Amino acid sequence: MKRVLSLLLVVVMLLSMAACSKEAEKPATTPDAPAVAGNSGKVTIWAWDPNFNIAIMNEAKARYQKDNPNVEVEIVDIAKGDLEQKLHTNLASGVTAGLPDIVLIEDYNAQKYLQSYPGSFADLSGKVKHSDFVNYKVGLMTIDGKVYGVPFDTGASGFYYRSDYLEQAGYKHEDLVNITWNQFIEIGKKVKEKTGKKMFGFGLDDGGLMRVMLQSTNQWYFDKQGNINMANNEALKAAVKAYKDIVASDIIKPTSGWNEWVAAFNSGDTAAVVTGVWITGSIKAEASQSGKWKVAPTPRLDVAGAVNASNLGGSSWYVLESSKNKDVAVDFLNKVYAGDNDFYQKILIDRGAVGSYMPAQGGASYAADDAFFGGQKVYTDFSEWMKKIPSINYGLYTYEADSAIFSVMPDVYSGALSVEDALKKAEDQLKNQIGK
Amino acid sequence: MERASKKSFIKIQNRYGWFFVSFALVLLGIFLIYPILNSLYLSTTSTKGIVQKSVGLTNYVKLFKDQMFLTALKNTFIFFIIQVPIMLLLALALASILNDKSIKLRGVFRTAIFLPAVTSLVAYTVLFKMMFSLDGFINTILMNLHIIKDPIPWLMHPFWARVTVIIAMTWRWTGYNMVFYLSGLQNIPDEIYEAAEIDGASKLQQFFHITLPMLKPIIVFTSIMSTIGTLQLFDEPMNLSQGGVTGSTTGPGNSLLTMSVYIYNLCFKFMPNFGYAATVSYVVVFIVATLSIIQFRLAGERK
Amino acid sequence: MKTKKIITRAFVYAFLIAAFVVSVFPFYWMLAGMTNNAIDVIKGKMTFGGQMINNLKVLITSHNLTGVLANSFKVSIATVIGTLLVSSMAAYGFEVYESKGRNRSYAIILLSMMVPFAALMIPLFRLIVRFGLLDNHLALIVTSLASVFLIFFFRQSFKSFPREIIQAARVDGAGEIRIFFSIVVPSMKSTYAAAAIYAFMTSWNAYLWPLIILQTDKQKTITLLISSMSSAYFPEYGVIMAAIVVATLPIIILFFALQSYFVQGMTGSVKQ
């Protein structure tokens, strides 16, 4: 009986503790905004990927604290999907107590956050010199002329290939520069014939490559006004057609999900990868393939206006309006991400991170040749391609559009639906969903 | 005199009844019922993040025109109808075998079969995707045994993707349900079996005439829990389908899109419409409640 | 007759061994994975390598494993003790002292279990913030003390508890609370054991709610650690596997420890 009572007591205690801390915590939630510009205080940052964004942020923190020893910086490592859940829950509940000062947001989602939660992010126009950054990145964080973030890494894309396999198939680097996707398929067939290797790992329900194809044509699932543009979008038709041709041509190793896709090139089973520059680290992880890789410009679609440069992914830093140390947070981003040239050289060497800060691209690290890529100055090449990436406003509904298109793709592959009919069906579905 | 004491007995009983349930009721009232009422209100709004407007019941009307929702509904039912019976029968069979004291190494088998339920979701996902890849373990074995000639496109074809998820779910949850059956079997006195043995009843007869009826409350429990679990199915389809760089659909052609994944997408992946997501949630509640009542009735249990 | 029995036995064992292999194989693979580096894990290497010490070292030094484990233990143990008490008491109240009012509230509770958590997250989050429990482990514990699942499970199990025993105890003059704690609880050990395993597992593996409530790395639980590690552009799978093995061990140990209760019949303890 005694034990029972003590257990009950524990429960009651727990409950009363809950009630007490309600009282105790109250003052802390009232924002009394100390925000002294004397650069002290605490800045909390949310980001994902311990070996990339987090590691880079730690470097930035070390640099900033050298001059501002009184600023405390806490970097919280949260998985990307988790971070989005957390951010949505916090923003949607209207409670600011749990929000960080700085948060990392993927470019495709930027407009969605900015427009869904108006007033939640700090306007940085005039506070950060945005003209120093690559144009397309700044466009993604702008609403009504106000710029809301500090651009970070780029997803400039490239056509990574195994020079040994392609040589065996009779191709030199010049043959692979500025090609179209049709040529790419032909090359793939030749590679298959001569080496027995598949051209690349390919996710049948992965929209990544379609985004690469579309952006190279300066088109998107939506027009510049944000209206759905699918059924009559020539670029999109060409992209869907390219997907169909690629699948039909037997040059792919079908993969499902990230790991299988990475394994496809790490294992040496495939000859190429077409994706964003952030994949460099994963390619280099297989050290035994050193010297066997090279990078060519991204293939383009056979559509008027298409260029051999595109983008996949990339993200930027945003400051929350509710931040108690907003000025310090902005100063931190400004000093390091919009001013420290040497920082960008260091993160490129250490982490393979290609920033979108243009003054840094004349630096020594960008000009270095890379033995893994047979001495090619890959980062010089990527910076060149980066400048040619068409500036696209992804709008609010990229993920919805992806989902609509890829729910009809199995029928496109099997031939049950023509490309036109499939796009019509996807467009109807999307219209119904987003109500436009 | 008699009546008075009976009345006071009932009164005292009633007081104790409330005492026993009070702690739980208070906690549930705060942390479950209140949020539910709050979200019911939310289901009559349409939100774009914090840009919120009241739309009355139009969300509920919109549902039936929403192709994506109908796909999710269909997929969820496919999983429910096929997976739950397979898993529960398997669990019941394993539990009754492992309850037999003459079986050797019972403890080892019990623990081993329970293992999948404790494996972390991350490990389980990575492993299953690897085993079921085109040149993975499963295809290699099946081809070496000459059961199939060409590799099965497990996670790349709508039909096979569903099969894979059903296999994965059965693998993960059978041992878990078995534990509840085992604990239930302990409440059946050995003497009943001994008596039946003497009467010459076979093991199978014992199972149908003793085990099943005695275990009924627990069977109802597991089947209702599995119904809820399957209709709220999220982990398996979400993780087994995580596609490449962008994860455009849930499984090939959205073949693995379940209602919970759709709710998740509406909140966190698409333009956040929490109001509409709440609406979808209440449809799930309605369906689960209906199915549960049917199961209670079938089992002949009072409410 | 004898041969038929032997054949049946053979089938039963074949079935058990098949179930054993299928169930254990992934676990073997996890163990092998923790001894390899990321690339080998991705390539599907199934044999043991020499990276185990290294992986564990990374886990402990750069991911603060001990602190994270301490958090998980703290939350899970408190939850298990609290929820077994609160939930089994409630179930007993509902089952033994049936009344219209309580049956009605029971039905409402059961129904509420069917609401997907995603729908409740935002209101619940607001509530916790109002209580000042953000980034506090208490927020994880108080919300799971009353588990509908466990109330339901306990009630279904109490259904088979012989009422005559309760009546007999009353005649002997035992109080209601005393009957519950010193007669009913001790004789339902297998039910409590199953419930403890369930409660521990749920709390230990909880993911969505801790994710939203816990804000700082200091408070992080093991599930959150594994999740953030595996979302990298290039996940360190060897280290992740080591983390998973470490995260799985406590549940397996608990299961081993409690499974003896599944073997022991309840008849003995009731009779005495």
Please list the rounded mean pLDDT of every run of 10 residues in chain C (272 residues).
82 92 86 85 79 89 90 95 95 88 89 84 87 92 92 88 88 89 88 91 88 86 84 78 89 85 48 30
Residue tagged 């003793």 (tokens) = B210
Query: B149 and B245: one domain?
Result: yes
Q: Which residue in the block uniquely carries the two structure tokens 């198939």?
A: A169
Residue B143 counted as domain residue = yes
Same domain, yes or no: B36 and B70 = no
pLDDT in tens, A355-381: 999 999 889 999 999 999 999 999 999
Nearest to C23 among B103, B115, B260 (CB): B115
- Cβ A141 vs Cβ B74: under 8 Å: no
Residue A86: strand, helix, or coil: helix
Residue ranges per domain, chain C?
64-229
Strand partners, A376: A370
How big is the A-B interface in CB pairs under 8 Å?
A: 141
- For residue A94, give the nearest of B50, B242, B254 by CB distance: B50
The per-residue pLDDT for A16 is: 42
Q: What is the amino acid identity at position B229?
A: G
Q: Does C146 contact B292 at a Cβ distance shorter than 8 Å?
A: no
Beta carbons within 8 Å of B208's beta carbon, 6+ residues apart: none
Parallel, antiparallel or unpaired: strands A102-106 and A252-255 = unpaired
Residues in chain C closer than 8 A to A8 (CB atoms): 85
What's the pLDDT score for residue C237? 82
Residue C193 to residue B190: CA distance in whole angstroms: 20
Contact between A163 and A295 (Cβ < 8 Å): no
Domains of chain A, earliest start first: 41-154+313-371 (3.40.190.10), 156-218+229-312+382-391 (3.40.190.10)
Alpha helices in A267-377 (DSSP H): 280-284, 326-337, 341-351, 364-367
**Mean pLDDT rounded to a whole number for chain B:** 86
Cβ separation A82–C227 shorter than 8 A = yes
- Is residue B36 included in any domain, yes or no? yes
Query: Do B64 and B157 fall within a single domain?
Result: yes
| Domain match, B116 and B251 both | yes
More confident residue, B104 or A220: A220
Q: Using the predicted structure, report yes or no on whether residue A25 has a pLDDT greater than 50.
A: no
Q: What is the pLDDT of residue C1?
A: 58
pLDDT digits (tens, 9 = 90+) for B226-249: 998 898 888 888 878 864 445 678
In one-letter notation, the amino acid at residue A18 is: A
Q: What is residue B256's DSSP assignment?
A: T
Shortest CB distance from A259 goes to which of B129, B157, B272? B129
Select from A261, A313, A399 the Cβ nearest to the Cβ of B270.
Answer: A399
Q: Which CATH class is domain C64-229?
A: mainly alpha
Instruction: For chain A, give the number of residues.
Output: 436
- B213 and B163 within one domain: yes
Domain of B96, CATH number, reads 1.10.3720.10
- In terms of CA atoms, which chain B residue is nearest residue A274? B245
Does A144 score more than 70 pLDDT? yes
Which pLDDT does position C267 carry in this prediction?
37
- In angstroms, the Cα distances linking C224 to A82, A251, C73, C144, C228 are 9, 39, 14, 18, 6
Residue A36 is predicted with a pLDDT of 42
Q: List the single residue in B67, B252, B271 with the smallest CB-CB distance to A116.
A: B271
Q: In what helix (H) or strand (E) does residue C263 lie, and over which residues does it extend?
A: helix C260-263
Distance of CA C62 to CAs B210, C40, C68, Å? 56, 21, 12
CA distance C133 to chain B (A): 13
B93 and B36 share a domain?
no
HSE value, Cβ hemisphere, 13 Å, CA-based, for C86: 29
**Claim to verify: residue B233 and residue B86 sit in the same structural domain:** yes
**Domain co-membership, B73 together with B127:** yes
Any domain includes B49: no
Q: Do B267 and A88 touch (CB under 8 A)?
A: yes
Instruction: Domain of residue B258: give its range.
Output: 60-298
Q: What is the pLDDT of residues C79-124, one digit of tens each?
A: 999 999 999 999 999 998 888 888 899 999 988 888 888 788 888 9
Cβ pairs B/C, distance under 8 A: 257
In the stretch 150-189 of chain C, residues with CB closer than 8 A to chain A read 177-178, 181-182
Q: Answer whether B138 touches A (CB < 8 Å).
A: no
Task: Find chains touching chain C: ≥3 CB pairs under 8 Å.
Answer: A, B
Q: What is the mean pLDDT of residues B214-224?
A: 90
**How many structural domains is chain B composed of?**
2
> pLDDT tens across B182-212, in order?
888 887 877 888 889 899 888 888 888 888 8
C136 touches chain A (CB under 8 A): yes
Same domain, B31 and B172: no
What per-residue string of b and e applies to A289-314 under the rule 16 or more CB within 10 Å gives b?
A: beebbbbbbbbbbebeebbbbbbbbb
Question: Is residue B48 a part of any domain in this protein?
Answer: no
Task: Say yes or no for a CB contact (<8 Å) between C23 and B23.
Answer: no
Mean pLDDT, rounded, for B57-69 = 86
- Residue B176 and residue B289 in one domain: yes
* Partner A contacted by B35 (CB < 8 A): no
Which residues of C fall within a CB distance of 8 Å from B189? Answer: 265, 267
**B51 within a domain of the structure (yes/no):** no
pLDDT-derived band at A423, boundaries 50, 70, 90:
very high
Residues of C in contact with B38 (CB under 8 A): 123
Q: Are residues B82 and B30 in the same domain?
A: no
Q: B125 and B72 in one domain?
A: yes
C232 chain-A contacts, CB cut-off 8 A: 48-52
